Amino acid sequence: MRRLLAILALAWAMPLAAQLEAPAEPVETPAPVQTIAATQEAGADEQIAERIAGIFAELPAFGGVEVAVSEGVVSLSGTVPKAEDVDRAEAIVNRVAGVVTVENGLERDLSVSADSAGISVLGERWESLIRALPLIAAALGVWLVIALAGYAIAGFGRLWNRVAPNGFLAELIASAIRFGFTVLGLVIALDMVGATALLGAVLGGAGVIGIALGFAMRDTIENYVASLMLSLRQPFRANDHVVIDDLEGRVIRLTSRATVLMTLDGNHLRIPNGQVFKAVILNYTRNPQRRFDFDLGVDADDDPNAASKLGRETLRDLPFVLDDPPPEARIEQVGDSNIVLKFLGWLDQREADYFKARTRAIAAVKTALEDAGFALPEPIYRLRFDPRSATIPMAPAGEGQPASPAPSRPAIPDITVTEGDEDVRPADEIGEMVEQERRRGGDEQDKDLLDRSRPVE
């Protein structure tokens, strides 16, 4: 029993000893509380009231404030021009010695009378604006001078045309100079009148508006950038025969908005530059040599090698077909009743028209093959009649009906082919129309961006 009591006493004493050995925590000293005197000197309220009234008399915002003091308690009443003046008056009163507390009954003056605080503040601001008019006029003058200097520098057209690779980029540089000088003058003018915060707000708003317009005018901006890139790259020349995607024609001009083509049937075609920049462009004019080809079929029993050789020799004898590269003939496919041969030849587009020359070549090879005994067969169809499927009985020939004679083929008139019909010189009526359009010119906004002095991409 004694041992149990000893163990319990030891267990109770160990945490107590640990607590005594632990360092004492710092005790925060409470802030001294300002005490209010039990008595007050005679005339103290009058002194406090005079002191506060004297301070408010020096501040125009507190001209309409009434002060009353009793036992150190200050009561404020009246109106002030601004909401922040209410707290300001209370803070001033609390700093006066002897003030116990403040009963703040001030209100903002919301009247619109001629002598109200709001109207007086407006009047003060108007007077400040009148006094600042000379400074504002000077700032506007500086802005105007800087902006005019930018316009004058941008007006050196010859200089920018020499610096820039084309007229479109030169105009872009001039516009950037005008804009930059105008903004610079505005920054300096606002700094002179101390309104740089307004400039930040304006530039921030302009940035937000610019982002919104960028999304709204994405296609227009893309087309404008494509015009700039095309004017630098020069992918074609005026009067080039091109195919842009599936649109074919001769190039009239490249403007800041669109590429103008004249189709092969004489119509104007305007393609947005954004589409032209991303399109696959096929230019037939860049290489004067052009290959033509056509297919002819011979009978399956004929020798295709002999027909190919005869066709090549016929093409080689034509004056408009080039010797280098030489004409070729290939076996394209073997059908049920014929063998299809593909003949290929090269011509110089400066000397021969593509379509005329191809027509002459087809006629010449066809005639040569027929004269040599090669048959150019037509498709053969075999028809099988099953008597069991016939719904209308057919009378045999010679029984009650005479046999119908075979239709006679009309005689081919004798047509004489003259030397003019064999002419394959280039027909350039579309090219002449394009040159007339270029001489006529376009609007000022449709200035041609094609430059023959720059290399073609």
**What's the pLDDT tens digit per position in 346-362?**
999 988 989 999 999 99
Question: Mean pLDDT, to the nearest integer, of 325-331?
Answer: 93
Rounded Cα gap, residues 330 and 291, in angstroms: 14
Q: Residue 4: is its pLDDT beyond 50?
A: no
> Does residue 5 surpass a pLDDT of 60?
no
Query: What number does CATH give the domain 237-285+434-446?
Result: 2.30.30.60
Tokens of 69: 């003091």
Q: Comparing 384 with 228, which gets the higher pLDDT?
A: 228
Beta bridge partners of 258: 272
pLDDT at 403 over 60: no
Write out pLDDT tens, residues 21-80. 444 455 455 545 556 666 667 778 888 888 888 888 888 888 888 889 888 889 998 888
Pick from 146, 229, 241, 137: nearest CA to 186: 146
**What dihedral do alpha carbons 189, 195, 199, 202 form, nearest 10°?**
-120
- Position 22 scores a pLDDT of 46
| Segment 163-175, tens digit of pLDDT | 776 666 777 788 8
H helix or E strand, kind and range, residue 104? strand 101-108
Burial 352-383 (b: 16+ CB within 10 A, else e): bbbebbbebbeebbbebbeeeebeebeeeeee
Q: How confident is the model at residue 415 (pLDDT cuts 50, 70, 90)?
A: low
Helices and strands, counts by H and E, the chain: 12, 11
% residues pLDDT > 70 (the chain): 74
Question: Average pLDDT of the chain?
Answer: 79
With beta carbons less than 8 A apart as the criterion, state whether 352 and 292 touch.
no
Q: Which sequence spans correspond to the domains of the chain?
A: 44-108, 119-216, 237-285+434-446, 289-379
SS3 content of the chain, % helix, strand, coil (to 5): 45, 15, 35
pLDDT digits (tens, 9 = 90+) for 192-246: 877 766 777 767 777 777 777 676 667 777 888 888 888 888 889 988 999 998 8
Architecture of the domain delimited by 289-379: 2-Layer Sandwich (3.30)
Q: Say which CATH architecture domain 44-108 belongs to.
A: 2-Layer Sandwich (3.30)
Q: Which long-range contacts (CB under 8 A, 24 or more apart) does 353-356 make?
A: 353/424, 353/425, 353/426, 353/427, 354/290, 354/292, 356/423, 356/424, 356/425, 356/427
Asked if pLDDT for residue 268 goes beyond 60, the answer is yes
Return the amino acid letter for 120: S
Amino acid symbol at 157: G
Residue 131 has pLDDT above 60, yes or no: yes
Of 319, 345, 341, the residue nearest 330 (C-alpha):
341
Angle at 106 between CA 105 and CA 111, to 5 degrees: 130
pTM: 0.55
DSSP calls for 340-378: EEEEEEEEETTTS-HHHHHHHHHHHHHHHHHHTT---PP
The fraction of the chain above a pLDDT of 90, given in percent, is 22
Task: Tell me how far CA of residue 265 lies from CA of 248, 250, 259, 351, 436, in angstroms.
Answer: 10, 10, 18, 22, 16
